[in-house]
Chains A and B, each alone.
Chain A
Amino acid sequence: MTRRRRAGIVLAAAAALVAACSSNTAGSGGNATGGTSGTGTAAKVKVAFVYVGPVGDAGWTKKHDDGRKELEAALGDKIQTTFLESVPEGAESEATFERLAREGNKVIFATSFGYMDQMLAVAAKYPDVVFMHATGYKTSANMGTYFGAAEEARYLSGMAAGSATKSNKLGYVAAFPIPEVIRGINAFTLGAQKVNPNVTVDVVWTSTWFNPTTEKEAAQSLLNKGIDVIGQHQDTPGPGEAAEAAGAKWVGYNDDMSRFAPKAWLTAPMWDWGPLYIKTVQDVMAGTWKTGQYYGTMADGLVKLAPVAESVPADVRAAIEDTQKKIISGEFAPFTGPISKQDGSSAYAAGAKATLEELLKMDYFVKGVNGSASGKG
């Protein structure tokens, strides 16, 4: 994060300049509350996106920007979108939200956990603007959250990984020890154990969302131990490149990243933000938007699984497809007991299902994961 900061500031400043120029040329009214201008022509609804990474990251931020493009395609000239990339999390983001609100944006989407408190503070000052925060948990009358059950797709990707290993040792390159990442690792492990009860999953923490070299080195350290399938909760294809060079297999994240490691590629959990962005903006325009915590699923299309590679045996691919259908129909959930914790104690008895609240707070590893859920080695 900090390494990005220096250049992030430069980028943000440049983006601010560009945005300032464009708003000067477009701004006829310039009133923060927006609405229709005096001449009677309908003004475009302005929608802004704040990204934590660059749009070319091939992962997390790219998928959000794909969603923004879908929104533009769907609502055409009724709206006008802008985006700011590589905006640092924390205190510096507050000025960004403030400015976007003042420039007359009616809806502002922010796509990283670390924007939460700043967005909440700005939301209180601009009650007429709708704020949407991805991955967080704080809401207000005009600030909602959105995220989704990636664990459903991670479970399915774990099934592919469990069938692809010869050593029964899987590895997982993970960013930060927070519930989102921990339940992903657990779901991956449970999916792998479903097709191969003997597998274990070794976890390494990188302390970064986006650093290709660090991610690749972390994956390499796993491969050095004889691990032959790598999973990841990281935003670059770095781990896949390590797996490709070592002749191992790889489960990516965010998008179809197969072009980076065609031989290693198995599949990946993916996001599809477009429909949510379209619906949110439509609701705001119609005046029917309500605050809340949106948690998308495979059933409503927010979470997807990338096409599964041909190298995965046909019967496993069929099993993955079958399980996906059951997840979508609600017949099956990845966190269904019996599930044991890492230390052998019981997390869920046979048949018991984890509630959403429990999922969002998950802070322990399931049995079969090697590593520390508190982020130490």
Chain B
Amino acid sequence: MNNSAFVLMLAASMVAATPIALAALGELLAERSGVLNLGVEGMMLIGAVVAFQTGTKTGNLWVALLVGSLAGAALSAVHAVLTITLRASQIVTGLSLTIFGTGLATFVGKSIEGMPLAVDFRPTPWGPLADLPVIGPVLFKQDPIVYATIVLGFVIAFYLRRTRTGLSLRSVGESPATADSMGIPVALFRYIHVLLGGLLAGAAGAYLVLGQVPSWSQESTTGGLGWIALALVVFASWQPVRLLLGAFLFGFSRQLNFFLQGQGVAVPAELLSMLPYLLTIIVLVVWGSRDLRRRVGAPDALGIAYVRDER
């Protein structure tokens, strides 16, 4: 049963969901602090290309993952300085970050085009648990990053709901003026969470080349996943656990296309390829309406630069 095409498809959905979930969890942290970063796609690409280069030079997956993540964080630092300290438009800065990141990654990646990567993350089964029907292959026969992503989702949920710092973070995102008057360092909170967002986006990009397809394919390496991660944050109403489920759903919809074709069901493939863009449009619609934003659970001060003594 565990070798049936359907169970194997569910297991593959987990792998497809992981990079989206990682990047979206990072974006969730940044947005919870009140900073929208549309540069996810660019940060992922930088993370991917740097991780690939590092993996080729060191042959060590974990070092590659770490350096790739740091590269993503470095790019997000640009966004942090521009939007938090200099109060530039978050939307314009974020979009520029994607364009810049894409160009830079393509340039840096020239030397590794058409090269294979010798190392990659392989599934590590959890002993007898991996043989459980259905949930064995889906949950206990994955690579370490899949496990780590799930754990991270729950850790972030706990952080937001049950810790003092998490509460402070939420107040920074909802009402920075109030948080400020209570002595919470608004700018510092925003800096840290934007950087964490970049770190996770970098990790997501690194996972694409270290765990999914061990080759560098320019902007096709991410192929729009960064935009889907952005949409996913809204889809999940800024809730980490809901976000994990949403990511799985998206991974599932990708696999479903080929699974249905294989079963002889007539689904025009074009229809399913449209999904990411539809989701992005929904984000923009929600973005446009303040009322709608509040109703779906967006942090109140999202997208607004904070200036003390200014209302």
B291 within 8 A of A: no
- Asked if B131 CB lies within 8 Å of chain A CBs, one says no
State whether A376 and B268 are in contact (beta carbons under 8 Å apart), knowing that A10-B99, A260-B215 are contacts in the complex: yes
Q: Determine whether A206 belongs to the interface, using a CB cutoff of 8 Å to chain B.
A: yes
In the bound assembly, the distance between CA atoms of A218 and B113 in angstroms comes to: 22
State whether the Cβ of B56 lies closer than 8 Å to any Cβ in chain A.
Answer: no
Could you tell me if A62 and B212 are in contact, using CB atoms closer than 8 angstroms? no
Chain A contact residues, CB within 8 Å of chain B: 2-4, 6-7, 10-11, 14, 54-58, 62, 86, 202, 204-208, 210-214, 216-218, 220-222, 224-225, 236-238, 241, 245, 259-260, 370-372, 375-377
B12:A217 contact, CB within 8 angstroms: yes
Closest-CB distance, A181 to chain B (whole angstroms) = 13
B259 contacts which chain A residues (CB < 8 A)?
221
Q: Mark B7-19, 1 if CB is under 8 A from A, else 0.
A: 0110010001000
Shortest B198–chain A CB gap in Å is 20
Chain-A contact segment, one of B65-73, B102-110, B149-157: B102-110
A-B contact pairs, 12 of them (CB 8 A): A56-B113, A58-B113, A86-B218, A210-B217, A221-B261, A222-B258, A224-B5, A241-B213, A241-B214, A259-B115, A370-B264, A377-B262
Q: Is A377 a contact of B264 with CB atoms below 8 Å? A: yes
A241 to B215 Cα, complex, angstroms: 9
Alpha-carbon separation in the docked complex, A86 to B106 (Å): 12
Q: Known: A57-B114, A212-B220, A376-B268. Is A204-B262 also a contact (CB below 8 A)? A: yes
A55/B113 in contact, CB under 8 A: yes
- B219/A7 in contact, CB under 8 A: yes
Chain A residue nearest in CB terms to B273: A207
- Of the candidates B110, B208, B261, the one whose C-beta lies within 8 Å of that of A377 is B261
Q: Does B265 contact A (CB under 8 A)?
A: yes
Q: Which residues of A contact B103 (CB under 8 A)?
A: 7, 10, 14
Q: Distance (Å) between the CB of B211 and the closest chain A CB?
A: 11
Residue pair B258, A204 in contact (C-beta under 8 Å):
yes
Q: Is the CB of B262 within 8 A of A221?
A: yes
Whether B262 contacts A202 by the Cβ 8 Å rule is: yes
Beta-carbon contact of B263 and A377 below 8 Å: yes
Residue B254 at the chain A interface, CB threshold 8 Å: yes
Q: For residue B248, give the distance in angstroms from its CB to the closest CB of chain A.
A: 15
Find out whether the CB atom of A217 lies under 8 angstroms from the CB atom of B269: no
| CB < 8 Å neighbour of A237 from B215, B262, B273 | B215
Interface residue? B292 (CB, 8 A): no
Q: Once bound together, how far apart are the Cα atoms of A169 and B166, in whole Å? A: 54
Q: What residues of chain B lie closer than 8 Å to A14, measured between beta carbons? A: 103
